[in-house]
A and B are shown apart, each in its own frame.
Chain A
Amino acid sequence: MRWVKKAAFAVLLAVISVYTLFPFYWAIVSSLKTGSELFEVAPWPKEPAWGNYTAVFTAQPFGQNILNSVIVASAVVVLSLALGLTASFALARIQFRGRSTLLLTVLGVSMFPQIAVLSGMFELVRWLGFYNKLPSLILSNLILTLPFTVWVLTTFMRELPKDLEEAAIVDGATPWMIVTKVFLPLLGPAMATTGLLAFISAWNEFLFALTFSQSDNVRTVPVAIALFSGGSAFETPWGVIMAASVIVTVPLVVLVLIFQRKIISGLTAGAVKG
């Protein structure tokens, strides 16, 4: 009876693992198949070939696309953290009139559907001369990352001990010194978590990137992958698409494996505590 239970549990775990990982396995296998081999459903490639991986970078400006994504996501993270740090200090540590209203507004903005700002943002982007340029994406992505950053940093900052701050006030520290000298060093892990989540959401953003970019070399990774086209209109280059998918998935898998705990604490702070 006992081992039946154990075996059933093992089967359950195996099913969960296969369900979670099979699509990745299949993408890797397919990316290593070339020519007609791609069209046979074989569990592994007979002769693994890297042709698709070189084709990603020669047939498309995929290197540029990756660079674009890195630039946009990094800029968004830096801006969100810089703005979010001071804003969340005010929201978490200072009692002032209108604070709860502001917190609710921040939470409300993080629920905005992107589509609801799309036409207004499009107009703004064109007016600023950002259309088909990376700044358009840096600007628009802030609507996804900034409210979230402020919210999560506020929940983290509330939990810092009060004594440190009081001691600093007694020593005559200004609020700015408290933020930068006392809290910032303590917030390292929280900043890393929040920054990581903001990076992932900017890296994955699709709607703005699709709408505000036009040329191949301005596209970010998700748009490039969504719009990959083959030699002819009727031929989808699946091998190349799978190679591109694997290329962008690997760094994320590494990030997830390294920062698993941080990601989980950030997600739960962002959602459950709301």
Chain B
Amino acid sequence: MAHPATPINPGPGGASAPPEAPPPVLEGASALLRERTRAAWLFLAPTLVVMVVVAGWPLARTFWFSFTDANLTDMAASQFVGLESLRQVIDDPDWWTTVWTTFRFAGVSVVLETVLGMIIALALNAKFGGRGILRAAVLVPWAIPTVVSAKMWAWMFNDIYGVVNAVLQSLGLISEPMAWTAEPGLAFGAVVAVDVWKTTPFMTLLILAALQMLPGDVYEAARIDGAGPIRAFFQVTLPMLKGPLMVAIIFRILDALRVFDVFFVLTGGGTETMPMAGYARQRMFEYQEIGVGSAAASLLFAIIALFTAVYMVVGRVKLGD
């Protein structure tokens, strides 16, 4: 899905001008070019300033804090302590519990979202009456705040009055009510359930958009070759969806690794069911250890930066074909 290259763009990257002499240009044209370049920077300036203020500067400060013993009560009195704050994070078994929880969460929920998203997208790609309405309905969980979906599910998962326990009990699947959000093992499942419900629409939409761009004649050919719908899916559809699917999956993994809201609302913040972002925030604002919390946040940033690099490489590859 490469962009139609803008004709002004001489080549990929654009920054590397060819070594040979530039073609002779009219005096007016080069003046115009200079004027446009100046305009470009002028137009970009406000955005760049805001980005530095809201992203660059706070990020740099967070990095700085992770080398200090900064405390919330008096942030000005912080001392440089080298790697001490970082060591406190790495030596803390609770940190590694949150790392494990976060990665498990990302893995399980992204797999479920992809599979479910694929099934729903394939269903919505078929022609049937009321398709538009169902497509809109599928979007709704995506639009509502995570906090709201977590609360709605927390009520459904309520151990005494919840509809989930009532239904499971009446079906005979469980003999007594389960504490879905209190027991760490179950709470993890509950968090995954909420996240999958909320973010599958996103997957569905991206897959659906990719499905609709597939050429129809390939299916015709597969059908003539006698491939059934399942074989056609695995041998024709899936390979052609690989690019967009990979991008969507990495996008979702990045999102899942920085998860905070669902866990916070659903489990209330016990260490056993806490994501990395929750750990960092707890150290910063509950224990008031800005330094240690910032060190944890910087570690999370490093992990995400790594995945972002992968995302960009995959994105680049896609743009190139």
Residues of A within 8 A of B (CB): 9, 12-13, 16-17, 19-21, 23-24, 26-27, 30, 38-41, 79, 83-84, 86-87, 89-102, 104-109, 111-124, 139-140, 142-143, 146-147, 150, 155, 158-159, 162, 169, 174-176, 179, 200, 203-204, 206-207, 210-211, 221-223, 225-226, 238, 241-242, 245, 248-249, 252-253, 255-257, 260, 263-264, 267-268, 271-274
Report A13 CB to chain B, min CB distance, Å. 6
Residues of B within 8 A of A (CB): 1, 3-4, 6-10, 13-15, 32, 35-37, 39-41, 43-44, 46-48, 50-51, 53-55, 57-62, 65, 70, 75, 119-120, 123, 126, 128, 132, 134-141, 143-149, 151-153, 155-156, 158, 160-163, 166, 197, 201-202, 205-206, 209-210, 244, 247-248, 251, 254, 257-258, 260-261, 264-265, 276-277, 280-281, 284-285, 290, 293-294, 297-298, 300-301, 304, 308, 311-312, 315
Question: Quick check: A271 and B206 within 8 Å, CB to CB?
Answer: yes
When A and B form their complex, which 9 residue pairs have the shortest distance between CB atoms, in order from nearest? A120-B58, A120-B61, A113-B258, A175-B39, A87-B47, A116-B301, A117-B58, A90-B40, A41-B166
- How long is the Cα–Cα vector from A102 to B45 in the complex, in angstroms? 12
Question: Known contacts A268-B209, A272-B248; is A83 also within 8 Å of B151 by CB?
Answer: no
- How long is the Cα–Cα vector from A139 to B32 in the complex, in angstroms? 36
Q: Which one, B43, B50, B70, contacts A89 given CB within 8 A?
A: B43
Question: Quick check: A206 and B146 within 8 Å, CB to CB?
Answer: yes
Q: Which one, A107, A115, A120, A260, contacts B312 given CB within 8 A?
A: A107
Write the chain B residue with the least CB distance to A154. B3
- How long is the Cα–Cα vector from A100 to B12 in the complex, in angstroms? 9
Question: Known contacts A38-B161, A175-B43; is A252 also within 8 Å of B126 by CB?
Answer: no
Q: Which one, A96, A115, A120, A268, contacts B57 given CB within 8 A?
A: A120
Question: Quick check: A116 and B298 within 8 Å, CB to CB?
Answer: yes
- How long is the Cα–Cα vector from A252 to B143 in the complex, in angstroms? 6
Report B174 CB to chain A, min CB distance, Å. 14
Report A110 CB to chain B, min CB distance, Å. 9
What residues of chain B lie closer than 8 Å to A158, measured between beta carbons?
3-4, 6
Report B157 CB to chain A, min CB distance, Å. 11
Question: Known contacts A175-B43, A248-B145; is A118 also within 8 Å of B209 by CB?
Answer: no
Q: Which one, A120, A150, A206, A271, contacts B59 given CB within 8 A?
A: A120
Most buried by A among B47, B152, B265: B47
What residues of chain B lie closer than 8 Å to A207, measured between beta carbons?
260-261, 277, 281
What residues of chain A lie closer than 8 Å to B202, measured between beta carbons?
267
Report B228 CB to chain A, min CB distance, Å. 12
- How long is the Cα–Cα vector from A211 to B143 in the complex, in angstroms? 23
- How long is the Cα–Cα vector from A174 to B152 in the complex, in angstroms? 53
What residues of chain B lie closer than 8 Å to A105, measured between beta carbons?
51
Question: Quick check: A115 and B277 within 8 Å, CB to CB?
Answer: yes
Report B46 CB to chain A, min CB distance, Å. 5
What residues of chain B lie closer than 8 Å to A9, measured between beta carbons?
123, 126, 128
Question: Known contacts A113-B277, A206-B146; is A150 also within 8 Å of B205 by CB?
Answer: no
